[in-house]
Amino acid sequence: MNRNNSNVAILLAVLAAALYAISTPISKVMLQVVQPTMMAAFLYLGAGIGVGMMMLVRYERKRPSSEERLHRRDIPYTAAMVVLDIAAPILMMYGLKTCYAANTSLLNNFEIVATAIIALLFFREAVGRRLWTAICLVTTASMLLSLENSSIGDALTFSKGSLLVLAATVCWGLENNCTRQIAERDPMEIVTIKGFGSGLGALAIAFAVGEHLPDLQHITFILMLGFVAYGLSIYCYTYAQRVIGAAKTSTYYALAPFVGALLSILLLGEPVTLTFVVASLVMAVGCWLAT
């Protein structure tokens, strides 16, 4: 492997993590003026529009592409991917609206657990002792992050917002397993279909439940955030993976929730509790074991 190519790939993997990390604290701020389902819709539409334009540029320049297009037999997995990507961001935005952004960022790591369990149950993939340990640690940390004080006697109870975030990660875990079945296809085509399909689906639901279109300036900003944090992040991740491999890329990408949590604390002034610190350490060990 060329050393320069390897270094570039590592930078792309770290960049993918950083780009995705910014979405949580910024979305938290935007949810003060934009309704959750509308937020989810325009984030994914931003990814679809942005990466779709990149595909058009590639086509206009007549650059030969070695990427394999989606086949008819891929339709069931593609449709499932789109449906799950309608549900997941909506659940995430509703959860984020009532949770700390730092907690939400770390709870994203529960996607590791969901992906592994679903792969085991439905696709018969092996789960070794190391990964089972990681699953237990990430689950424990997620439970800690989901706890809050109730108004009666300061007893601990599960945060409803955190449960919505965890539900979103389960959807993404199932979506990961569907996407894995079409992983060899053109990533630009996959992201474009995912962006437009899921974005338009979420937009239809937003209108159905009575949400209103945000101001044009807010729509433009969210579209740009979706392109950067979702579209470009996936693009960078995919190309890093092809040079340094899936395991190494996922190791660098595992930084994303922790970067998101740090940004949330620094930019939004969110509190750092003992429970949060303990959960972060347990989560970090679990993520390390999972990579």
Task: Express each pLDDT in 217-274 by its tens digit.
Answer: 999 999 999 999 998 988 888 778 777 766 677 778 778 899 999 999 999 999 998 8
- Residues whose CB is less than 8 angstroms from the CB of residue 222 and which lie 6 or more positions away in sequence, other chains included: 30, 34, 39, 42, 43, 46, 214
pLDDT of residue 16: 87
Low-confidence ranges of the chain (pLDDT < 50): 1, 149-154
pLDDT of residue 156: 54
Break the chain into its structural domains and give their ranges. Answer: 3-290
From the list 284, 260, 290, the residue with the least C-alpha distance to 141 is 284
Beta bridge partners of 225: none
> What are the angstrom distances between the C-alpha of 233 and each of 142, 169, 204, 256?
24, 18, 26, 10
Q: In whole angstroms, how large is the CA radius of gyration of the chain?
A: 19
Judging by DSSP bridges, how do beta strands 147-149 and 156-158 pair with one another?
Answer: antiparallel
pLDDT of residue 154: 45
Rounded Cα–Cα distance for residues 254 and 15 (Å): 12
Position of tokens 């899921």?
A: 198
pLDDT of residue 179: 78
What value, to the nearest 5°, has the Cα angle with vertex 47 and ends 171 and 89?
A: 25
pLDDT of residue 118: 86
pLDDT of residue 209: 97
Task: Express each pLDDT in 60-74 by its tens digit.
Answer: 776 666 678 888 898
From the list 207, 239, 229, 199, the residue with the least C-alpha distance to 12 is 239
User: Could you tell me if 235 and 195 are in contact, meaning their C-beta atoms sit under 8 angstroms apart?
Assistant: no
pLDDT of residue 246: 61
Rounded Cα–Cα distance for residues 222 and 208 (Å): 21
3-state helix, strand, coil in the chain (%, to 5): 80, 5, 20
DSSP per residue, 109-146: THHHHHHHHHHHHHH-----HHHHHHHHHHHHHHHHHT
